[in-house]
Amino acid sequence: MSKIDQGNIGAFFFLFYVLAETPSRKILGYVKPRYWFSFIVCSWAIIVIGMSFAAKSIFLVISTSLLGVFQSGLTPGVVNYLPNWYSRSEVGARMAILFSSCTLASVLSGPIAAGFSTFTLGNLQPYSSIFFMEGALTLVVGVIAFFAIEDSPEKCKFLTKNEIEFALERAQQTQEVSSNKHITMKNTLAVLKDWKVWAYGIMVMCINISGTTLGFFSPVLIKALGTSSSSATLLSALPNLSGFVGQLLTSYTLTAFPLWVNSLVYATISLIGMVAYSFTTANRVLSLFFLCIFGFGVLANIPVIATWMSINAGGSVKRSIASVLTIIFGGIAGIVTPYVNTTHDSPSFRVSINLNIICSSVNIILTLVLVSYFYFENKNREKNPKDISDLTSDEIRNLNDYHPLFRYKL
């Protein structure tokens, strides 16, 4: 398979993920949750099973494109579903569990895939057995989801009448808050003029390039160190496990230390890990160790950057627009990364290594730029208060983080 074909398989997944994200949000309002989620999971399963019989690269590209389309509906679906059951203060913790489970899935996927590769299913190749077995298990989960997921509290079978009333009351409060949110072209253009939004977008792109390198291409990097395909698949769990530990640690560090310290430290750790990895490729053990260091810094920084951006948006409308922008930047990262991590780049992966070093360096620089601006801007607002009593309520709301009383979180 050519370098371009290998790159297309990964890149088209992210391309169609970005393209389908907005339509998926529109569909959510017309489909019941259990239908939506079970449809997504079963669609994944059928596509992955079909991939086990793909004889040409074009079929794999089409399959991963379809996976991107259906994947785009999951996170927006969960975001819309959870507020029906939990208060706004409770949703964040549930979303954190969701994202941590994604990292945990990366940890478990290596050993599971290595085990399935030993199965003999007719004339299928070992990698085809992985697709078939994982697709079959996912199909079972999708069917179970159809019967296990409750659409809403009022239709829930395991809640008492009092519990249903309590859940509906909280849901109504969330809907009232949401009804006041209006995104206009004027709002959008105002947000896009803010350099900080672009700075955060670039940080998201950089961290996603490194995260995609780690999550999708660890087996390829490890195999280049001189291990077999099955061993590389098994060992790929270690960098992701290291990153999972880092993400668990952020539950403490995000409250114990300023956000900029978290971002700076984790970006520095990832930079050290990748630089050291680039100089130790001749030593398999050392290379794997530093790849784990890299994973620790990268995956831990994902929730840090997302949290820092969200907190400093200053308003729900600006936060929503900035989130869409970060999805686009994340998609760009996913499109670029597969083309520099093909088997044709083995064993040096020089472009990928240099790209990840640059990404960690950029995040360090932007962290220092943002915290410097936030610090001096906060000081300036303390010393020079502004009177906004002549503004309307809509104009005050549209100030977002430029409100005189708003203070940036360092």
pLDDT (average), residues 380-395: 81
Topology of domain 1-149 in CATH is Growth Hormone; Chain: A; (1.20.1250)
Token digits for 312? 């400093």
Token digits for 177? 């808050």
The helix or strand, by DSSP H or E, that contains position 109, with its residue range, turns out to be helix 88-116
pLDDT reading at 96 higher than 70: no
Half-sphere exposure of 98 (CA within 13 A, CB side): 13
Q: Which of 52-56, 81-85, 94-98 has the lowest mean pLDDT?
A: 94-98
Q: For Cα atoms 72, 15, 20, give the angle at the middle one, nearest 5 degrees.
A: 35
pLDDT reading at 91 higher than 70: no
Q: For Cα atoms 383, 385, 391, give the angle at the middle one, nearest 5 degrees.
A: 165
List, for residues 130-139, the tens digit of each pLDDT value.
888 889 999 9
Q: Which of 172-181, 239-248, 314-323 has the lowest mean pLDDT?
A: 172-181
- For the ranges 167-176, 284-293, 392-401, the maximum mean pLDDT occurs at 284-293
Q: Do the domains spanning 1-149 and 183-410 agree at the CATH topology level? A: yes
> What pLDDT band is residue 178 in, cutting at 50, 70 and 90?
very low
List, for residues 339-374, the tens digit of each pLDDT value.
888 878 888 889 999 999 999 999 999 999 999 999
Predicted confidence at residue 180, as pLDDT, reads 45
Q: Which of 167-171, 262-266, 282-286 has the lowest mean pLDDT?
A: 167-171
Token digits for 179? 């009804």
Predicted confidence at residue 173, as pLDDT, reads 56
pLDDT (average), residues 319-343: 84
What does 110-132 look like in DSSP terms, one character per residue?
A: HHHHHHHTT---TT--HHHHHHH
Q: Which of 19-23, 61-65, 244-248 has the lowest mean pLDDT?
A: 19-23
Looking at the chain, the whole-number percentage of residues with pLDDT higher than 90 is 30
Which CATH code is given to the segment(s) 183-410? 1.20.1250.20
List, for residues 29-76, the tens digit of each pLDDT value.
788 888 999 999 999 999 999 988 887 888 889 999 999 898 888 877
User: What are φ and ψ of residue 124, in 5° steps?
Assistant: -70, 145
pLDDT reading at 239 higher than 80: yes
Q: How far is CA 63 from CA 22, 185, 226, 302, 338, in A?
A: 20, 35, 30, 28, 16
Is pLDDT larger for residue 111 or for residue 205? 205
pLDDT reading at 172 higher than 70: no
Half-sphere exposure of 212 (CA within 13 A, CB side): 28
Calculate the average pLDDT of the chain: 84
pLDDT reading at 103 higher than 90: no
User: What are φ and ψ of residue 54, in 5° steps?
Assistant: -65, 125
Give the span between the Cα atoms of 248 and 245, in whole angstroms: 5
Question: What are the structural domain ranges in the chain?
Answer: 1-149, 183-410
